[in-house]
A = this chain, B = another copy of it.
Amino acid sequence: MKITKIGDILIYFDEIRVKTLEREVLIDITNEIKKIIRKYDVKEGLCRIYIPHTTAGITINENADPSVIKDISKYLSKLIPKGGGLGYSYKHGEGNSDAHIKCSLTGHSVDILIHEKRLMLGTWQGIMFAEYDGPRNRRVLVQIQGE
């Protein structure tokens, strides 16, 4: 247990860019986020990552064996196929309704605690940008709040 009193809370706002090369891929951006945390030297607080897109999202998962994020990406594409499925034809005309659905399932933001200057990721956790309708140039918004 740890209590921190914050006299002056600071909010840092930053952004990184991700260029995706495939239609559906999860990309490990943990190191880019760690660089931002180090840059601002936050002791205690929160790192908030937000994806301002509707066909790309963000998720946390294993970054040790790269086959894990491949399995996630591939299985999601079986569950929610690009061309529709389970007797349903998508009404949205751009051919990327599957990407919109996946986004709402995995989410647009993750929050990771900062404690004693460290991003409190678990041993096997990495932060994964989730592209569902690439290749595209994407933005990742980062807000750090703390002291």
Where the two chains meet, the residues of A that have a C-beta atom closer than 8 Å to any C-beta of B are 1-15, 40, 44-46, 48, 50-54, 59-62, 65, 67-68, 70-72, 74-76, 78-80, 84-88, 90-94, 97, 100-101, 103-113, 115, 120-125, 139, 141, 143, 145-146
Whether A108 pairs with B60 at a CB distance below 8 angstroms is yes
7 contacts between A and B (CB under 8 A): A4-B10, A11-B45, A46-B48, A60-B108, A75-B90, A78-B86, A113-B143
Complex CA–CA separation, A100 to B9 (angstroms): 35
Whether A104 pairs with B3 at a CB distance below 8 angstroms is no
Complex CA–CA separation, A106 to B80 (angstroms): 15
**Chain B minimum-CB-distance residue to A112:** B50
Nearest Cβ on chain B to A14's Cβ, whole angstroms:
5
Whether A86 pairs with B79 at a CB distance below 8 angstroms is yes
